[in-house]
Each structure stands twice: as structure tokens, then as C-alpha cells.
Amino acid sequence: MFRLPLAITPITAAVVIGLSACSSSYVESPSAPAAKPADLQTTVRLEESALKAEDREAGIATRSSVDALPAMNVAAETVMAPMQKRGPFNLLPQSDDSIFAHKAENRENYAQISTNPIVVTSSEPTSTFSVDVDSGSYANVRRLLNRGALPPGDAVRVEEMINYFSYNYSVPSDTDTPFSITTELATSPWNEKTHLLHIGLKGYEVAPENRPAANLVFLIDVSGSMSAPNKLGLVKPAMKMLVNQLDEDDTVSIVVYAGASGAVLEPTAGDKKKEIARAIDSLQAGGSTNGRAGIELAYSLAAENFEKDAANRVILVTDGDFNVGLSDVDQLKKLIEKKRESGIALTTLGFGEGNYNDHLMEQLADVGNGAYAYIDTLNEARKVLSEEVSATLMTIAKDVKIQVEFNPALVSEYRLIGYENRHLANEDFANDKVDAGDIGAGHTVTALYEIALVGSGGERNTPKRYGASNTDDVNLDEIAELRLRYKAPQGDTSKLIAQQVLKNDVIDSVDETSSNFRFSAAVAALGQQLRDAKYLHQFDIEDSLKLATGARGTDEFGYRQEFLNLVRLAKELNAQPEHAEVFFQQKEPRG
């Protein structure tokens, strides 16, 4: 099995890696000193609901608990002054510097991923999964490579690397069917005996002036771990970029959370940009991280301003380091699953390094009917929050599921590349109660299958002596049937689309395929090389570079050229001598 050795440049701190059954972790050099507790003087609004004992422990302040506030110790870190109804109060964290001491610990958290196996078609001809429009893994991998280290394998989700890029698929002719479907089948770049089936979806596009109103609640982590320049220092200009895309029909609220939570900006029209910017600029970091308290208050505020035809969305901005109250990934997922029933989606934006919880951020967006992005630079903030704002805010199809049934008479084996944590049971495809991913306006979604045709010699499984199938009266013209199910944004009943992939569609040479096919294959190859290249034969990083170089196509913002540079960087890091390897310690998941 091929696995890239991990390397380090002179500027990167030496780190040790181990193995864990649950997660991978990555360590960077120490981040900027955390803010002192006295730095946090954030005016907040108390929540309406009654304070329960469990909420008190979680640090949720409510209006009905005003009389109890002076004596209340929230998570042993925050003392809150009394207030009049709907009046302000200050968060006054105690001055224990140890709470805010963030050392260079190895606490980056990634969910363990097992690469999809090869499936024998005669045993299981059908493959079902949820679409994924997340892009966080690619940006995070880019951050690690630019830091001089190859990423741990579990940090690489191949489908998110592929879907970071847009592809020039045909645009839907009308909104009755919210996305177009493109398929392409050709010889695999890394194995001449197998083929790649390329599936592409393209959501219809909406002009900025036609975008529906947005009811947004920024839920911003202002705990001590967010004090670094690449965390809260980057959050502020990033949020302003999004605000710049809003107008008088939109509404913005800001909720912050540390040891306790509160609203620093009441619902405000999107055209009052100076007022919103002042609220953003006032944010300071300090305290521990009570994620549940902030989530509860943010959804409550979004519900107060809910508009049926608007984009009602909570945007969670954090490093994901929840360490007070409800912090278990599964429990937080259950909380978000309940909240999504209100019609309010959750988008997660990840920031920072050293203690970054990729596992939590990706999973919360998944169950929250939103998308996950990692913001490592201002340019990435511009891409996600300005250039792609319609896709970020406007859902055009929800619970989108893909099912491919391969013809055993023609297809001997197949494997889905990526989407490991998006698998669905085949019976869930037509079950409208089963949640799946959403597609935003203008989004493209791409999926790749590697298949071995019967008699091609590309099979990896031993042929069955007693399992030969009778191909009499079998359709020998169809390679597979592609099926999609989706719901309208406000709908509860799914619609079905089906189309066939024909044997006559096979393209014999990779060179004759579209740039969409070749570039996505190059990205998929690099992703597998960074994770587990056991299915790539002798296809190496240099081959990925050559394939991508000839498939840049139109590259208006330079994202594909940037990918080429990252491939070159990965090649150089992979070539480092063994004594320069960096190993990333892996720990049990914190979320």
C-alpha cells in the first residue's frame, strides 16, 4: 500500500504522529497569545426562555434568571451582573490566566475514514450516496501543505477536494428541474484496463438582484482559543465580506459565545453596514467554549425573525474546540438535527490551526442542511462569502441523493471514489424521511466511479467458479442507470430523475475527454495519493500534475493554477529524506 511519507520544512516544528481508531491530529507551532480575560467586555441580550438546571450548567443565560445572575457561576469562569428586562449586561470572566493558556498541543481532530472498497457488481449492483457540496477539506489540506507538511490521511476527503472546483457543465434551461446532469465514461488515467464514470450536476444560477432575502445569524466563537490572528483576526474581515453582499431586504444578527452566550447585535437590516461592522469590530476573545449555549440562542434568534421564503440560516464561525457543556459530536449532531426541523439551516465556517476540530465542523454542517468551508486566507473568504454567496445562502434543491445501478452483464466491479461518510442504504434512496445533502444556486457536484468492464482484465477480485451469470436476454447496451432524487426547497416529497449510461458512450482515450473529466480525475488522484494510493498502480504525483496541467480550461480566479502549485509542493515534500519526516500524533476525538 502506497502512503506518502510526511515531511517538514525548516520552519515547521517537529511533531510526533501515532495511530488511533477514532481520529487524527495535527500540531502546528504555538498560536498567538490568548487574550486576557479582562479583554472580553461584550454586551449581550438575554434569551427569552426559562432557565433550566441543565442550561445553567451549560452556561445559557435567560431573561427569567435575572435575579439569580449575581450569584451564578457559569462554568466556573463567568460572573454576570444583573440587568433589567431586555437590558444589557457585561460578561466579566474571572482573571485566571490558566483558562486561556493555549500551548502547542496536538489537538487537531479528524474523523477516521476507511477508503471505499471495490464492489463485485454481481453481488451488489447498486450504490447510493448523498451529494456533498462541502469544500473544507481542500482548503485545510492546502493550509497544511503551505505550512510545509503533508496532511494526515484522515484530513483528506477526496470528494471535497474535487468539489472545491466549479466545472463548466451545462446550465439548466429552467427551474422546473433545478440542476442539469452530465455523464462521461472513459479509460482511467491510472489503469488502462479500467474506466472512470464521471457524474456532474450543475444547479441553476441566480442573479444577485434575484436572490431571496436572507435571515442570517452569525454565531461567532469568542473563546480564548479564537484569539489568534488567523482566527478572530481573520473572522472579522471575512464576515464583513459577506455583509457587503447584503441589502435592505436582508437581516443580520450576531450571537457570541464563550463561557456564556449573548446577542451583540439585534436583528439589523443588511444595508446598515456601518452598524454591523462596528458590532463585528467590537468582538474580543476570552473564556472557555460553551458551544451548546451559543447554538441554542442563535437558533432562537433566527426563529424570531423567520421568513418562509427567505434563506433562514445560522452561520457558525469557530475553530470547533467546544470544551464546556455539550461537546460530544454525536450529542451536538442530535441537537442540530432537531433544530433543522424548524427550517433553519446551519453553515459552518472553520478557522485556525493547532486545536482545529475538522470532524465536528463537517458533521454539524452535514446534519444541519448546510455546507462546510474552511477559511485559511482572505482570498478563501472572498471565494466562499462573496463570489459564491448565492450558493452559500440559497438552497435550490434539498435532500439530493444519487443512486447508480450497474449492469452486471457489462460491469464486473466498481468503486466510488470518496464520499465515504455520505453512504446511504439502498432502501433509503426512496425514503423521503432520510436526510441528504442540499445544492445551492450555481453549485456543481461531481462524483467519480472507477469500474472494470466484464472481460477487461481490470478485475481485482478472483472470478467465481460457480457464480457465472446467464447473460441471455440481458440488456447489453446499458452500462448503468443513474438515478437522482431531490426535494424542492419547501417541499416534502421527492422527485425522481433517471438516465442511462450507454456502452456506446465509452471514450477510448483520456486525451479525448473534456477538461472537466481530466481535471477532476487529477484532483481525485492527488487526494488518493495523499490518503491511500493502493488503487493507482504506478500513477504518481508527477502524473497527476501532467494530467491537471492539460486540463486547466478557463481559470478566471486562478484556482486551478493554485492546485498545480499545490501538487508541485506535495511532490517536493514527498521527496524529503526520511530523517526529515514529520509524524502527526493521533488522539481520541475531542468532539
The pLDDT tens digits for 444-467 are 999 999 999 999 998 888 877 676
Contact 193, 458 (CB under 8 A): yes
CATH of the domain at 389: 3.40.50.410
Going by the DSSP 8-state scheme, the letter that residue 568 receives in this structure is H
Question: Which positions ≥6 away from 233 have C-beta within 8 Å?
Answer: none
What is Dmax (Cα atoms) for the chain? 82
Residue 330 covered by a domain: yes
**Spatial distance between the Cα atoms of 255 and 293, rounded to a whole number of angstroms:** 10
Judge if 279 and 343 occupy the same domain.
yes
Q: What is the pLDDT of residue 500?
A: 97
Q: Confidence class of residue 174 from pLDDT cuts 50, 70 and 90?
A: confident
Q: Residue 327 has what pLDDT?
A: 56
Let me know if residue 526 belongs to a domain. Answer: yes
Q: Which residues lie below 8 Å from residue 552, measured CB to CB, with a gap of 6+?
A: 515, 519, 560, 561, 564
The Cα-based distances of 449 to 202, 299, 411, 482, 515 in angstroms read: 18, 39, 12, 12, 17
**220 and 364, same structural domain?**
yes
- Indicate if 168 and 194 belong to the same structural domain: yes
What is the C-alpha radius of gyration for the chain, rounded to an integer number of angstroms?
25
CA gap 199, 183 in Å, rounded: 5
| pLDDT for residue 278 is more than 70 | yes
Range name among 53-67, 103-117, 131-145, 299-313 with the lowest pLDDT average: 53-67
List Cβ neighbours of 572 (8 Å cut-off, separation of 6 or more): none
Q: Tell me, yes or no, whether 551 lies in a domain.
A: yes
Q: Collect contacts of 243-248 with beta carbons under 8 A, ≥24 apart.
A: 243/270, 243/273, 243/276, 243/277, 243/280, 244/273, 244/386, 245/208, 245/385, 245/386, 245/389, 246/214, 246/216, 246/270, 246/271, 246/273, 247/271
Q: In the structure, what pLDDT confidence band is assigned to residue 294 with cuts at 50, 70 and 90?
A: confident
Within a domain: 9: no
User: Would you say 223 and 319 are in contact if contact means Cβ atoms under 8 Å apart?
Assistant: no
Residue 326 is predicted with a pLDDT of 56
pLDDT tens digit string along 213-259?
999 999 999 999 899 999 999 999 999 999 999 999 999 999 998 86
Q: Are residues 126 and 159 in the same domain?
A: yes
Q: Whole-angstrom Cα distance, residue 350 to residue 252? A: 20
432 in the same domain as 336: no
pLDDT for position 60: 37
% of the chain beyond a pLDDT of 70: 76
Q: Which amino acid is at 459?
A: E
Average pLDDT, the chain: 81
Confidence of residue 472 (pLDDT cuts 50, 70, 90): low
168 and 254 belong to one structural domain: no
pLDDT of residue 467: 60
Would you place residue 58 in the very low, low, confident or very high pLDDT band (cuts 50, 70, 90)?
very low
Output 211 or 8, whichever has higher pLDDT.
211
* pLDDT value of residue 325: 54
User: Do the beta carbons of residue 245 and residue 389 sit within 8 Å?
Assistant: yes
Residue 348 and residue 405 in one domain: no
CA distances from residue 234 to 245, 265, 316 in whole angstroms, order as listed: 18, 19, 14
Going by C-alpha positions, the residue among 209, 195, 158, 189 that lies closest to residue 446 is: 158
Kindly state the helix (H) or strand (E) to which residue 381 belongs, with its residue range.
helix 378-382
Same domain, 184 and 289: no
Does the pLDDT value for residue 295 go beyond 70?
A: yes
Question: What pLDDT shows up at residue 5?
Answer: 40
Confidence of residue 331 (pLDDT cuts 50, 70, 90): confident
**Residue 486, beta-bridge partner list:** 495
The average pLDDT across 193-201 equals: 98
Q: Cell numbers for 576, please give them.
A: 524529503
Domain membership flag for residue 528: yes
pLDDT band at 585, cuts 50/70/90?
very low
Which of 5-19, 186-200, 400-414, 443-457 is predicted least confidently? 5-19
Residue 2: inside a domain, yes or no?
A: no
pLDDT per residue over 398-435, tens digit each?
999 999 999 999 999 999 999 999 999 999 999 999 99
Same domain (yes/no): 201, 214: no
Q: For residue 114, which of 570, 420, 427, 522 has the smallest C-alpha distance? A: 420
Q: Is 108 within the bounds of a domain?
A: no
Do 237 and 175 belong together in one domain?
no
Of 339, 359, 393, at which residue does a domain stop? Answer: 393
Which one of 393, 424, 443 terminates a domain?
393
| Domain at 144, CATH number | 2.60.40.1230
- Does residue 290 have a pLDDT over 50? yes
Residue 93 covered by a domain: no
The answer to whether residues 319 and 216 belong to one domain is yes
Identify the pLDDT of residue 329.
75
Contact indicator for 261, 44 with CB cutoff of 8 Å: yes
Taking the CB of residue 384, how many other CB atoms lie within 10 A of it? 24
Same structural domain, 241 and 322: yes
Q: Which amino acid is at 562?
A: E
Model's pTM, two decimal places? Answer: 0.81
| Residue 343 near residue 395, CB atoms below 8 Å | no
Which DSSP symbol is given to 245?
T
**Helical packing angle, 329-340 and 358-367, nearest 10°:** 30
Residue 519 pLDDT > 90:
yes
Number of domains observed in the structure of the chain:
2
pLDDT digits (tens, 9 = 90+) for 61-80: 333 322 222 222 223 233 22
The phi, psi pair for 346, rounded to 5°, reads -125, 120
Rounded mean pLDDT of 103-110? 69
Print the domain residue range for 527.
Answer: 119-206+396-458+476-577
The residue from 361, 377, 393 where one domain ends is 393
Measure the CA–CA gap between 405 and 403, rounded to whole angstroms: 7
Q: What is the pLDDT of residue 471?
A: 53
pLDDT at 529 over 70: yes
pLDDT tens profile 486-504: 999 989 999 999 999 999 9
- pLDDT at position 323 is 58
Q: Which three cell numbers stand for residue 589?
A: 476525538
- Is residue 195 within 8 A of residue 188, CB to CB? The reply is yes
Q: How confident is the model at residue 45, as a pLDDT?
A: 38
Contact 251, 215 (CB under 8 A): yes
